[in-house]
Structure 1
Amino acid sequence: MSNEQDEVIAFLSRPSAYDTSNQPVERIETHGSVIFLHADRAYKLKRAVAFAELDFLSLQSRKKACRAELWLNRRTAPTLYLRVSSINRQADGQLVLDGQGPAVDWLVVMRRFAQDGLFDRMAVQGHLTEPMMQQLGIEIARFHACARITPSFGRIPDLYQEIEKNYREMSRYCAFLDSAQVISIAHASRKLLASLTACLEERRSQGRVRRCHGDLRLANICLFDGQPTLFDGIEFSERIACIDVLYDLAFVLMDLQHHGLNTLGAGLLTTYINHCTWKEDCEPLALFLSLRAATRCFSFAGAAQRHADPTTRHEKRQKSILLMQQALGYLHGENPLLNHLALTETAAYT
Structure 2
Amino acid sequence: MTEQDLQILVKDGIYKGKPLGAKLEETHISWILLTNELVFKIKKPVKLSFLDFSGLTTRKTLCEKELRLNKRFSPIYLDVLPVTKQVDGYEIGGESGQIIDYAVMMKRLSAAKKMDTLLAVKEITSEDMVALAEKIADLHRNAQVISTAFDPNVQMATFNDIESIKLFAARHLTKDYLNIIDNATSTGNAFIHHYADRMAERVRLGFKRDVHGDLHSGNIFIDKEPIIFDCIEFNDAFRQIDVLSDIAFLCMDLEAASQGSLSEIFLTIYCDQFPAFQQSADNQIFLYYKCLRANIRAKVNAVSAWESEGSEPFQEHLEAAEKYLRLMNDYVMQIQGKAD
TM normalised by structure 2 equals: 0.90
Counterpart of 1:321?
322
Deviates more, 1:117-126 or 1:275-284: 275-284
Equivalent-residue separation in structure 1 for 2:166 and 2:215 (angstroms): 21
Q: Indicate the residue corresponding to 2:190 in structure 1.
A: 191
Distance 1:334 1:191, change over 3 A: closer
Measured against aligned partners, the alpha-carbon deviations of 1:71-106 in whole angstroms (never above 9, x if no partner) come to 0101100x200000001234x364322221342110
| Amino acid of the structure 2 residue aligned with 1:124 | A
Distance 1:45 1:311 in 2: 26
Deviation at 1:167, TM superposition (A): 2.8
Q: Of 90, 93, 102, which aligns to 1:95?
A: 90
Q: State the distance in 1 between where 2:64 and 2:14 align.
A: 22
Please name the residue that 2:147 is paired with.
151
User: Residues of 2 paired with 1:94 and 1:332: CA distance?
Assistant: 58
Matched, 1:116 2:115: no
- 5 Å-filtered alignment, 1:240-251, equals 240-251=238-249
Q: State the secondary structure of the residue aligned to 2:298.
A: helix
* Matched-pair contact (CA < 8 Å) for 1:154–1:244: no
Alignment deviations for residues 23-47 of structure 1 (CA, whole Å, 9 cap, x no partner): 7421111000011011200000100
Question: What's the C-alpha RMSD, in Å, of the aligned pairs?
Answer: 2.2
Query: Conserved in 2, the CA contact under 8 Å of 1:154 and 1:242?
Result: no
Indicate how the Cα distance of structure 1 residues 172 and 239 shifts in structure 2: closer, same or farther if over 3 A, else same: farther
CA contact 1:210–1:245 (8 Å) conserved in 2: yes
Report which stretch shifted further, 152-161 or 18-27: 18-27
Counterpart selection for 1:49 from 31, 46, 61: 46
Residues 23, 39 of structure 1: 8 Å contact kept: no
> Cα 1:254–1:277, aligned 2, differ >3 Å: closer, same or farther?
closer
Is 1:168 the equivalent of 2:164?
A: yes
Q: 1:234 maps to which residue?
A: 232
SS in 1 for 2:102: strand
Q: Which residue of 2 aligns with 1:38?
A: 35
Distance 1:50 1:37 in 2: 25
For 2:203 and 2:335, how far apart are their aligned partners in 1?
A: 26
Shift of 1:154: 4.2
1:156-198 Cα shifts (integer Å, max 9, x gaps): 2221121221233455423315211110000111111211112
Distance 1:20 1:174 in 2: 54
Question: Are the aligned partners of 2:137 and 2:270 in contact in 1 as well (CA < 8 Å)?
Answer: yes
Which runs of structure 2 are paired with 1:7-86 in the superposition (5 Å)? 7-14=4-11, 16-19=13-16, 24-77=21-74, 79-86=75-82
The residue matched to 1:173 in structure 2 has which SS?
A: helix
Q: Is contact 1:273-1:280 (8 Å) kept?
A: no
Is the Cα–Cα contact under 8 Å of residues 247 and 289 in structure 1 kept in the other structure? Answer: yes
> What stretches of structure 2 of length at least 5 have no aligned partner?
none
Cα 1:73–1:154 shift into 2, 3 Å: farther
User: Partners of 1:219 and 1:154 in 2: how far apart?
Assistant: 28
Which residue identity is paired with 2:110? A
1:105-146 CA distances to partner (integer Å, 9 max, x unpaired)? 100000001111111111111111111111111111111111
Whole-angstrom CA distance in 1 between matches of 2:167 and 2:199: 27
Q: How many residues are aligned here?
A: 330
> Corresponding residue for 1:203?
202
For 2:238 and 2:155, how far apart are their aligned partners in 1?
11
Q: Within 2, Cα distance between the matches of 1:294 and 1:230? A: 23
Secondary structure in 1 matching 2:266: helix
Q: Which runs of 5+ in 1 are unaligned?
A: 339-350
Amino acid in structure 2 at the alignment position of 1:220: N
> 1:343 aligns to what?
none
Give the fraction of aligned pairs with identical amino acids, expressed as a percent: 24
Any idea what SS the aligned residue of 2:334 has?
A: coil
CA separation of 1:308 and 1:164: change in aligned 2, threshold 3 A: closer
Task: Find the aligned partners of 1:174 and 1:242 in 2 and give their Cα distance.
Answer: 34
- Scaled by the length of structure 1, the TM-score of the pair is 0.88
